[in-house]
Amino acid sequence: MFAVERFLKVSEPGTFTTLGLPAGFVASNWQTGVEDTDEGCQLSIDFELTNTGDLAGSYQLSLAVNGVDEEVREISLNVGQSTPVTFIIVRSEPGTYSVSVADLTTSFKVPAPVSTTANLWFVVAVCTIVLFIASGLFSLWRLKKAQTMEKPPVQTPPSGQ
């Protein structure tokens, strides 16, 4: 009965006037973006919250990551009023994170860092192979040069003899 009394006004005995529907909230114009930062992988969630009811009211937004509430905001809006809302989540641990706020559920993945040690060993291996091939080619070139210098000139017999 209390809920009904909040939206009705008794003007005279037996006569009631409705005050309107309670505040109702709709989230729209969703945008999400993921980018790498120095702190880790950052997910931004942007949307617009609008009071579509007949009365002013407050709405409690809860941002949950993997089912655990991380941030709760209470937003008060007048009738027909809208406000932009932004949540930013940063994670550095590799894994997939499920995120929900209002009627949006999304996920984002933080990749495992690339091993710089493996990359370093690859570069060292390639450089070693290149040096080995270059030294082999240089040795062959010197050997051919030395062989051409040691050969006595070929003498041709005089013609007519």
| Residue 158: inside a domain | no
Give me the DSSP letters along the chain: -HHHHHTEEEEETTEEEE--PPP-EEEEEEEEEEEE-SSSEEEEEEEEEEE-SSS-EEEEEEEEETTEEEEEEEEEE-TT-EEEEEEEEEE-SSEEEEEEETTEEEEEEEPPPPPHHHHHHHHHHHHHHHHHHHHHHHHHHHHHHHHHHHSPPPPPPPTT-
141, 94: one domain: no
In the predicted model, what is the mean pLDDT of the chain?
Answer: 83
Domain shared by 65 and 80, yes or no: yes
Q: How confident is the model at residue 30 (pLDDT cuts 50, 70, 90)?
A: very high
- What pLDDT sits at residue 129? 87
Q: For residue 156, tell me if it sits in a domain.
A: no
Q: Regarding predicted confidence, which is higher, 146 or 153?
A: 146
* 6-15, 59-68, 145-154: the lowest-pLDDT one: 6-15
pLDDT classification of 70: cutoffs 50, 70, 90: very high
Instruction: Say yes or no: 44 and 101 in one domain.
Output: yes
Residue 133 CA to residue 156 CA, distance in Å, equals: 40
Q: Can you give the pLDDT at residue 120?
A: 76
In a domain? residue 157: no
Domain hosting residue 128, numbered range:
114-150
Whether residues 39 and 96 fall in one domain: yes
Sign of CA dihedral 123, 125, 128, 132: negative
Indicate whether 124 belongs to any domain. yes
pLDDT digits (tens, 9 = 90+) for 80-116: 999 999 999 999 999 999 999 988 899 989 988 776 6
d(CA 67, CA 48): 23
70 with 145, same domain: the answer is no
How many structural domains compose the chain? 2
Quote the percentage of the chain above a pLDDT of 90.
43
- Residues 29 and 105 grouped into a single domain: yes
- Could you tell me if 40 and 58 lie in one domain? yes
pLDDT higher than threshold 70 for residue 62:
yes
161 found inside a domain = no
Residue 132 sits in the same domain as residue 71: no
**Statement: residue 3 has pLDDT above 50:** no
